[in-house]
């Protein structure tokens, strides 16, 4: 059994991670850290886990008891934790924050998008930086083009996310009375996920220097991301579709479909569904994921499976909640 610990255990991603780990056949959850909830039952905070676990939050982080640490901390806190604790040499870490996603030579974290870096994760990685949710949906829409050196014009992206993407801490834009029956844009052209998207695309296509014009949107639903991407493409739709099918043929969670997908096709799953269309020389790509699963906790479990030599789908064969 893989013995795991979680820091930052009270948030949405940690709650989703716990749901997945409790039902994973090869995992034992040793402890869940949350300083603000120490001593409280995990199921009192994550009420969907009532009847599923007797775990209680702890303020301690006994790293010598575990094989793998999941970091579900706010951005900036994982780096602080790493710097202030003695990390066992053989401890695997999956970080769900932004802290180590940019591979700048100052750390040994591997960027944890399996559809891009599966071999690097399997072949000796110890520390994995889980991708961002928007970054996951957008990269999966574009990786096959980068692989085939076809990203040679500006890229336009509009992507809408559910309210859970903002985290559990309330804010002016996450209150029900504001979010319900409402749609808004935020951080146009400046979203923090752009850096990791550009890093990945450049790793496949070294000549890539096009603009990525990204408009993120807040949706009036709880979970899911739909990213709609378009760009100039000289290749026929049939040829492009074959490039995508070939790229994802040996990956377990990304699928190309003939029918434009709905969010409900992927909510509560670790899947990404991609649809392709071509109109007047423009390639239109639609990519849908669950921001909490494929965009966060499910991808973290996927990375854990790779780190420990398990089949990718173990613990992640989930039913979409279509209605």
DSSP string, 176-200: HHHHTT--EE-STTT-TTHHHHHHH
The partner residues of 214 in beta bridges, in order of sequence, read 157
Query: How many residues can be counted in the chain?
Result: 323
- Answer positive or negative: Cα dihedral of 174, 177, 180, 182: negative
133, 220, 233, 272: which is the annotated catalytic residue?
133
Nearest residue to 19 via CA among 305, 318, 304, 221: 318
Distance CA 141, CA 285 (A): 6
Whether residue 272 lies in the annotated active site: no
Pair 17, 6: CB distance under 8 Å: yes
Distance, CA of 129 to CA of 103 (rounded, Å): 9
81 Cβ neighbours under 8 A, 6+ residues apart: 7, 61, 71, 73
The answer to whether the Cα torsion of 286, 257, 144, 251 is positive or negative is: positive
Phi, psi values for residue 195, rounded to 5°: -65, -45
Tokens for 114?
A: 């399996």
Cα 215 to Cα 24, 107, 248: the distances in Å are 36, 30, 26
Can you name the residues that pair with 279 across neighbouring β-strands? 282
Q: Which residues are catalytic?
A: 133
């Amino acid at each position: 059994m893989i013995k795991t610990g979680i820091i930052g255990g009270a948030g949405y991603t940690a709650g989703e991670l716990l749901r997945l780990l409790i039902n994973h056949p090869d995992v034992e959850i040793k402890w869940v850290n949350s300083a603000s909830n120490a001593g409280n039952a995990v199921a009192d905070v994550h009420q969907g886990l009532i009847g599923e676990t007797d775990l209680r939050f702890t303020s301690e982080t006994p790293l010598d008891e575990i094989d793998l640490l999941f970091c579900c901390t706010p951005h900036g806190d994982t780096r602080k934790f790493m710097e202030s604790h003695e990390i066992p040499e053989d401890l695997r870490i999956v970080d769900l924050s932004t802290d180590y996603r940019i591979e700048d030579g100052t750390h040994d974290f591997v960027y944890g998008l399996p559809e891009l870096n599966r071999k690097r994760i399997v072949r000796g990685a110890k520390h994995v930086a889980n991708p961002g949710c928007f970054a996951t949906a957008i990269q999966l829409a574009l990786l096959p083009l980068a692989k085939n050196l076809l990203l040679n014009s500006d890229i336009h992206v509009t992507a809408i996310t559910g309210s859970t993407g903002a985290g559990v801490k309330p804010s002016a834009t996450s209150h029900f009375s504001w979010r319900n029956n409402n749609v808004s844009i935020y951080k146009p052209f400046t979203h923090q996920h752009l850096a990791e998207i550009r890093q990945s695309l450049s790793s496949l296509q070294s000549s890539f220097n096009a603009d990525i014009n990204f408009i993120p949107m807040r949706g009036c639903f709880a979970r899911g991301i739909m990213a709609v991407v378009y760009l100039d493409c000289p290749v026929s739709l049939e040829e492009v579709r074959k490039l995508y099918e070939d790229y994802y043929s040996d990956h377990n969670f990304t699928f190309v479909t003939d029918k434009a997908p709905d969010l409900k096709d992927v909510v509560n799953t670790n899947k990404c569904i991609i649809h392709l269309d071509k109109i007047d020389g423009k390639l239109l790509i639609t990519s849908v994921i669950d921001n909490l699963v494929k965009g966060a906790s499910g991808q973290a479990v996927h990375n854990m499976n790779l780190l420990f030599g398990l089949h990718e789908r173990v613990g992640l064969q989930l039913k979409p909640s279509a209605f």
